[in-house]
Amino acid sequence: MTDARSAQLPRGRHHLSRDDVVGAQRARILQALAETMSERGYVGTPVAAIVERAGVSRETFYQQFSSKPDCFIAALEDTIARLGRTLSAALDLGGAPLATFDRLLAAYLNALADDPATARLFLIETYAAGPDVMRRRLELQTQFVDGIADVFGVADAAGRFACEALVGAVISMVTARFVANDVARLDALRAPLVELAGRLLTPRAE
């Protein structure tokens, strides 16, 4: 994980464009939000704590975000985009349905383990951030279900329900690891979840 303070802009004169400066500040603020909320929770994290962690001024924060919820949603969207790219890359490799699911699950678990602060933002703090944020997370969850259905060639209601149950199990068990601060054992979920996918969906893929 990249600490928000490690991405400071170079001191003195530099050749960065205004867009580069704004982009770097935005990235630092989003990472600072994730890091601070992983320690203090959504409710316990004021804007002051975010800007202190990011090493920017309140003016800089409000030039980019209208409020803490606005910043949170931006962080969530950034997480969704990065997860989407990671899972798409795993999906593009093709292969048998169960092997493809195994690869997707491994990519998902590795992405969360690589940035636990942002993962907690996505998995846990969304519950405190309000209905708009939860709706956006559920949209992503639905996309995940759609992807699993495509992998296994599911076309009926029973198969769709099995995909929803599988995705629900993945998210619930992963979230439990983060609540227990047991991120080191995330990969231990992989084999039993792939076995569950096989029991639920492999007959439909044959």
What's the CATH number where 133 sits? Answer: 1.10.357.10
| Cα four-point dihedral sign 83, 42, 36, 125 | negative
Residue 32, token pair as written in the block: 């600072």
Q: 61 with 141, same domain?
A: no
Over residues 100-129, mean pLDDT: 90
Which single residue is written with the structure tokens 């993962």? 119
pLDDT at 131: 87
Euclidean distance between CA atoms 196 and 57, whole angstroms: 49
Q: 92 with 117, same domain?
A: yes
Higher per-residue confidence, 204 vs 27:
27
Q: Are 99 and 90 in contact (CB under 8 A)?
A: no
Residue 204 in this model has a pLDDT that exceeds 70: no
Residue 136 in this model has a pLDDT that exceeds 80: yes
pLDDT at 37: 93
Range of the domain at 134: 69-205
Q: 73 with 34, same domain?
A: no
